[in-house]
Each structure stands twice: as structure tokens, then as C-alpha cells.
Amino acid sequence: MKMKGKIISLVIILSLITIFLPYPSNDIAATQSNKDYKVKLKDLTERGPIIITHDDDFSLYTTTGDGSALAPYLIDNFNITSLVDAIAISVSHTTKHFIIKNCYLRPTTIGISLNNVTQDTAQIVDNTIEGIKVASGAGVYIKSTNSTLVANNTYLNPEINSNAFDIEYAHHTTIFNNTAVSITGLYQTRYLSVLRSTSVTVENNTGTYLDAGISFFEGNNAIIANNIFTDSGNTGISLYKCPNSIIDNNILTNCGFISIETHDSPSNITNNEIFNNGMKITGSDFSLLRLYRLENNKVNNKNFGFFVDTPDLTLDTGDYSQILAYNCSNMVIEN
């Protein structure tokens, strides 16, 4: 016999099944990274920290390039390890173009720090950062530096909770195809923290055994797409007052708290795959739900149902793992 219930003009969030179905094997655009975490240290040059606070300082550390857009300075192939309370590579107050590439960094605090660097002059690519030892530390820290590319980097085995990537007041940053993992299986990495930065793109990244995934605080127009996060102790993707964003085609498995959570962040949330947890949308004004677009999201291989201002609905739980309904009158949920 079918059980029916009516819910009138009420916000409801229901988790409707507790059986967690197998991970899908086809028709997924995002693909798991297959990186080799072994660093060939014998091919790198050992040296102490690199500290650049003026354009003239680049010549102290590189003989490649002239700092122009066509011939950027190249800081590459260094092994910087065993530091005490130090940043491995720090660049601030510069105007020249440069690339930090193919370095192995094992600092105590921050691997690579950019602060007040001229827009669209910096690239951080193909580096490995391992073993951060302080809670305020980060693999890559970018502040007040716009249009930076951070790509193909690997963040490994922090010894304490820390951010793999930390972005503050840094607009138009691109975080692409990076990996963060604790090979030991400890949940100590917060993948990405973004503070008051607009138009940040986070795409094709992977993370495993994380403390938390991606967190945006007071920004807008973020793009979070084609990322894969597996085994996170807390939230997978979180937006707080970051409207007009896109969360698309991400795969989130075994997030300990919530897979996707937004607060006062009307956005497009589409084509995401969630396993063993769901989505949560909150706000200071629930009428903001009218500004969201949620389509084709799956929770445990079933639909995430999102309905606003829709009367006379009849829904069957065989089609949904989770339902969020706002201002829906005469609503019937069966089975």
C-alpha cells in the first residue's frame, strides 16, 4: 500500500535512502589523475630558500629569460628542503613575468608564496610540495595577485592540517589539474581555501584523504568544474556568499559532512555525481532559492530533486535520493 503525505508551503530537505550504490564506471567527463608521486631529486639542484622582493632579485636565482611576457624568468629544477620556519619560494612586489616550475619543496610553513605581484605575470606549474609542519601553512599561498596560473602541482603528506592551495584577494586565479593526497591516509589537507576573490577557476583537480575540499568565502563568479575528491572528512565543496558561480560535473565520494554546501550563493549547480552524502543549501533569505539552477545532479545514482514554487507535485522516492522543495503546495511524496 502506498503511503502519501502532503506538505504545504514548507521548506523540506529529505534524505530518502541509506543504501550507497557502486561508483559509476562510464559516461563521466572528469577522470582520475594518475600521477607518479616519486620525485627524481637527483635531477634537481639543492639550495636554500628563494626570496624575491624586487624585480632585480630575479637575476640572483635564474639566468633564463628576461622577465618579458615572451621570455619570462624561469625558476626551476630546485630542491629546497629541511627548512626551519621558512618559506621555500617567496615572490612579492614584482612586475616581471616568471614561471616557478619543476621544484621539489619541503618547507615548514609555505611552499610557494606570491604577494602583491603584478597581474598576469606569474605561473606555478609542475612542482611537488610535501610535509608542511604548521597549521597556518600552505602548499601555494597567493595574496593580492591577480590572474595567476597554478597547474599540474602535487601536494603531499602534510604533518598537520593545512591548505594545499590558499587564495586571498586574488582575482581571476586558475587552479588547474593539481593533486593533493595523503599517502599515509591521514585527513589533514584542506584542498583549497579562497577568500574574497572573484572569478576564480578550479578545474580538473583531484584530492584524496582530505580534511576538506574547496571552500569559497565572500566572492563571486567562481567556476568549479570537473574535479574529483574522494574521502574527505568534512565538506567537499562549500560556497559562502559567493553568488553567480558554476559548480559543474564534479565527482564527490565519501565526504564526511556534506558533499556540496552553499549559503547565500545563488548559482548554477549541474551534472555533479555524489556518493554517500548529499547537498545542502541554506540562506539568510530562502527566497534566494528562486535564483538557483540545479539540474542533472545525482546522489547515490538517483536524482537530486529541486523544486521551487511548484504546486501539485507527486514524487516517488524510487527516483530520488534527496529532495529540496521550497514553497511547493499540495506536494505528495510516495513510497
Beta carbons of 131 and 156 less than 8 angstroms apart: yes
| Amino acid found at 252 | L
Q: What is the distance between the alpha carbons of residues 334 and 332, in angstroms, rounded to a whole number?
A: 6
In a domain, 325, yes or no: no
Percentage of the chain surpassing pLDDT 90? 71
The CATH number given to whatever domain includes residue 150 is 2.160.20.10
The verdict on residue 92 lying in a domain is yes
**Residue 84: φ, ψ to 5°:** -115, 115
Range of the domain at 282: 40-301
Phi, psi values for residue 287, rounded to 5°: -65, -20
Question: Binning pLDDT at 50, 70 and 90, where does residue 251 land?
Answer: very high
Q: Which residues contact 123 (CB under 8 A, 6 or more apart)?
A: 72, 98, 99, 100, 101, 148, 149, 150, 151
Is there a domain that residue 207 lies in? Answer: yes
Is 275 domain-assigned?
yes
- 34 vs 161, higher pLDDT: 161
pLDDT digits (tens, 9 = 90+) for 21-31: 222 333 323 43
Coil, strand, or helix at residue 276?
Answer: coil
Q: Look at residue 34 and tell me whether its pLDDT is greater than 70.
A: no
Q: Which 3 state secondary structure label does DSSP give 231?
A: strand
Q: How confident is the model at residue 257 (pLDDT cuts 50, 70, 90)?
A: confident
Q: Is residue 289 part of a domain?
A: yes
Angstrom CA distances, 242 to 121, 145, 195, 283, 310, stand at 26, 19, 10, 12, 26
Number of Cβ atoms within 10 Å of the Cβ of 185: 10
Judged on CB neighbours under 10 Å (0-12, 13-18, 19+), 92 is middle
* Contact in structure between 80 and 48 (CB atoms under 8 Å): yes
Q: Enter the DSSP assignment of 184.
A: T
Distance of CA 305 to the CA centre of its chain: 25
In-domain check, residue 333: no
Q: How far apart are CA 294 and CA 164, in angstroms?
A: 29
47 assigned to some structural domain:
yes
* Distance (Å) of CA 221 to CA 94, 224, 244: 27, 10, 5
Contacts of 36 (CB under 8 A, 6+ apart): none
Is 311 within the bounds of a domain? Answer: no
- Domain total of the chain: 1
Local confidence band at 184 (pLDDT 50, 70, 90 cut-offs): low
